Each structure stands twice: as C-alpha cells, then as structure tokens.
Amino acid sequence: MSIANPLWGAPRIHGELLKLGIEIGQTTVAKYMARRRGPPSQGWKAFLRNHADGIVAMDLFVVPTISFRLLYGLLIIDHGRRQILCFGVTAHPTAEWLANQFTEACGWEQIPRYLIRDRDRAYGEDFCPPGSVDRHSRPPDVFPLTLAKRLRRTVDRFNPQGMH
C-alpha cells in the first residue's frame, strides 16, 4: 500500500487498514513501509535557502482606511539581503503600475532570478517575469511564510482595526 501511494504516511495507511478490518498498530505499519531513497527534489525551505540571493517576493494587500476607502499596499522584498525594495500605496492598482514599481525596485540590470507572488488579478495576465513562482501553485502548507507575508502580519498586528 505504501508503494502504490507514496504520499501516504503511516497514519493514513493505518487508518485504511483499520477500515478494511485489519487490526494492526500504527508503529508496525511504519516499520514495514517501503523507504524512500531520498526526496525527489529540494523542498521549499531548501530552495529558499539555496537561492536566497536571486529571490524577490512581491505582495499586494488591502488596507482599509478610517473613511472606509480601500487602499492597496504593494511590498517588494529581497530575500537575500532581507531588505525592503519597494513599499507603495495606491487606490487603483493596475498591471502597468505594478510593473513600473517592480522595474523601479529591481532596475533593468538587477532582474531577480525568481519572483514569488500570489495570483492576484491586478498583476494582469502578461505580468509574469522569468522565473516567477506562483505562491499557490502548491498546497499553502508546503510553502513557508515569505518575508512579505510576515511584514503584512506585523502591520495587521499593530493596527488591528485597520485605522490608517
């Protein structure tokens, strides 16, 4: 069962065997599971560590004001230096504005090798720099929290009512 379903762990296989009426302990299942020879590829944590100098994270988030207007904040962070490259605010984000902010933050000569971003429609269909990594292309629990998300949570923590 572990060979046919390589993503299943001992708890899942143990549960399936119990459903079939086979009384066996979870540690026994773990003991006789087929061992993997190694990870098929590097995980996200290893990827971020190995390529930190070439990674830039980009996040677009909503900031409600006291007058109930919505402003959009843009945050671009360099993972290698852990440095904020751009922090912009606009009432109407467009693909052109986002591309301009990205170009001003990174420059024409310093194009990052990888760009981590989410699937926001404001980026437009054509905004896909080489090496861009869609943050939701894999399950959310696999991808570690980016620096942009950490800063966003920090802003939300210090301003819980959204008063700006």
CB 74 within 8 A of CB 88: yes
The pLDDT-based confidence of 91 (bands split at 50, 70, 90) is very high
CB 112 within 8 A of CB 131: yes
Name the DSSP class of 146.
P
Tokens of 10: 């001992």
Provide the CA 82 distance to its chain's centre, in angstroms: 16
Count Cβ atoms below 10 Å from residue 142 Cβ, excluding itself: 10
Flag whether pLDDT at 142 surpasses 70.
no
pLDDT over 90 percentage in the chain: 16
CA distances from residue 83 to 27, 53, 58, 76, 105 in whole angstroms, order as listed: 46, 11, 12, 9, 11
**Domain spanning 45-158: which CATH class is it, in words?**
alpha beta
pLDDT at residue 13 in the model: 93
Lowest mean pLDDT among 27-36, 81-90, 128-137: 128-137
Answer yes or no: pTM beyond 0.85.
Answer: no
Give bridge partners of residue 86 from the DSSP assignment. Answer: 76
For tokens 């590097």, the residue is 42
Give bridge partners of residue 115 from the DSSP assignment. Answer: 56, 132
Flag whether pLDDT at 147 surpasses 70.
no
CB 88 within 8 A of CB 147: no
The ranges assigned to domains in the chain are: 1-38, 45-158
